[in-house]
A and B are shown apart, each in its own frame.
Chain A
């Protein structure tokens, strides 16, 4: 059974996805100067509206992860991978996405990773195909 939803995004998440299509990553900067990525419309500490969007890096550091040994049909990768929290360079929060690290042994908190862009981008979170270990 399938249901196709069409969800309205608003000015902040909409801008984030628009930028993904252009291979850019945006975060929202709060009044205190914290950069939240993916961006939120509100400062989670104060509740104040946030409309200051800033670009962050397309690489960052793994702050937490969980290994998926047996991917399911709807997972973004057909082979074992990690769900990882990635704090992008310039951001103060982490985003969750798939990390294609090859093997469980290759994943560790603190490792450097970079975005692997989808070849065709449509303005969706899957424009980030996954993260991968940063090329050294």
Chain B
């Protein structure tokens, strides 16, 4: 119903009232997102390759937005859990209610090897913030199997991957990612 705030638990007059407004959503999944989620739980990242233009979409959408044709499980391909940073944002967490972050951190768009589009909002792990650059090669740090919950709406990678750490490989050349930077 409402949250309590230690600020009002003292002995003085009550001058403010904390009120937690929350909304719960129930989102219906779809077969394409469900299959993607099951593969993630198994430790595999999958996509759909358009049978017409050959572009690989990760996560799979069940259609190619360019050719406007349906894609199905017959078009499924497995993508590497490794790729290159194309763009990133350093976030400074403001300590609002419910904030879990305490220190600056980076979220990146990553172009996975074998995919033609980036996955966004990916946490970079153990990479100094001033060393992040386009073309930096990273690999997935998978969550424990029981913690791999897919986003059933079909966006992103859910909680399957804790983050991405540098592989130590040479940076990818700009020609591999220049079409994917913002």
Please tell me if the beta carbons of B14 and A18 are within 8 angstroms of each other in the complex. yes
Closest chain-B Cβ to A134's Cβ sits at a distance in Å of: 24
Interface of B: prevailing SS = loop
Please tell me if the beta carbons of A2 and B97 are within 8 angstroms of each other in the complex. yes
Our count of residue pairs bridging A and B at CB distance below 8 angstroms stands at: 72
Interface string of A108-128 (1 = CB under 8 A from B): 000000000000001111100
Question: Please, which residue of chain B has its CB at the minimum distance from the CB of A1?
Answer: B23
Closest chain-B Cβ to A52's Cβ sits at a distance in Å of: 17
For A5, what are the chain B residues with a Cβ–Cβ distance below 8 Å?
18-21
Please tell me if the beta carbons of A122 and B16 are within 8 angstroms of each other in the complex. no
- Interface band, chain A: 20 to 34
A113 to B83, CA, bound (A): 66
Asked if B94 is an interface residue, CB under 8 A from chain A, the answer is: no
Given the known interface contacts A14-B14, A123-B14, the answer about A4 and B1 at a Cβ–Cβ threshold of 8 Å is no
Q: How many residues of B contact A (CB 8 A)?
A: 23
Asked if B128 is an interface residue, CB under 8 A from chain A, the answer is: no
Asked if A101 is an interface residue, CB under 8 A from chain B, the answer is: no
For B5, what are the chain A residues with a Cβ–Cβ distance below 8 Å?
6, 122
Interface string of B92-122 (1 = CB under 8 A from A): 0000111000000000000000000000000
Known interface pairs A3-B20, A125-B2; 8 further A-B residue pairs with C-beta atoms within 8 A, sorted by A's residue number: A2-B23, A9-B14, A9-B15, A13-B17, A14-B15, A122-B4, A124-B8, A124-B18
User: Which A residues are within 8 Å of any B CB, using their own CB?
Assistant: 1-9, 13-15, 17-18, 21, 73-76, 122-126
Query: Please, could you name 12 A-B residue pairs with CB atoms under 8 Å apart, sorted by A?
Result: A2-B23, A4-B18, A4-B19, A4-B97, A6-B19, A9-B15, A13-B17, A73-B24, A122-B8, A122-B9, A125-B2, A126-B2
